[in-house]
Amino acid sequence: GNITFTMIKPDAVEAGNIGNILQMIQAGGFRIKAMKYTKLSPEKAGEFYAVHSERPFYGELVEFMSRGPIVAAVLEKDNAVEDFRTLIGATNPAEAAEGTVRKAYATSIGENAVHGSDSDENALIEANFHFAGTEMF
Ligand code: GTP
Ligand code: MG
């Protein structure tokens, strides 16, 4: 697949890192197909991360993802899902490789600066969750 979906999470927006992260994304060869500055309601955040609803951190995750604005974007590149997860690094910044977005900007396993889709199937679902077809170019 050649698309993935990302969010710059509330912690990274609060810290003033939107520009730095978009710079890393574009330097990594990803083309922006769609992008918006928005805020998730707790209901929307819960729906987006429904796959984690049985996990002990679900409540904390929903509260975090809805506490402030995010940047949502659809990105295009060959091998987008895998290459984007390489660019952002491990979920836990303590385990993230040097040069990755999370190494640079994440502060904890929960507040980890960015989201990246985990499969081609989920990339399409997530892109369509946030954007109409007419908003993707
Ligand atoms: P996403 O790209 O956001 O989906 O992250 P991921 O695929 O690297 O991790 P995963 O899908 O397993 O978890 C989703 C999100 O839940 C993570 O990015 C974190 O924000 C949060 N999360 C995961 N594990 C923990 C945890 O142990 N504690 C807390 N507080 N949050 C967690
Ligand atoms: Mg995930």
pLDDT tens track, the chain, 137 positions: 899 999 999 999 999 999 999 999 999 999 999 999 999 999 999 999 999 999 999 999 999 999 999 999 999 999 999 999 999 999 999 999 999 999 999 999 999 999 999 999 999 999 999 999 999 99
Whether 115 sits among the annotated catalytic residues: the reply is yes
ipTM field: 0.96
What is the C-alpha separation between 42 and 114, in angstroms, rounded? 18
Query: pTM of the predicted model, to two decimals?
Result: 0.97
**Backbone phi and psi for residue 7, each to the nearest 5 degrees, phi listed first:** -130, 135
The whole domain housing 113 covers: 3-135
Give the residue numbers of the binding site for ATP. Answer: 9, 57, 85, 91, 102, 112
Among 109, 118, 130, the mutation site with the greatest number of ligand 1 atoms within 8 A of its Cβ is 109
List, as ranges, residues with CB under 5 A of the ion ligand 2: 118
Residue nearest to atom 20 of ligand 1 (CA): 110
Q: What is the CATH number of the domain that holds 131?
A: 3.30.70.141
In this structure, what token pair is assigned to residue 19? 């520009």
Please tell me the total count of domains within the chain: 1
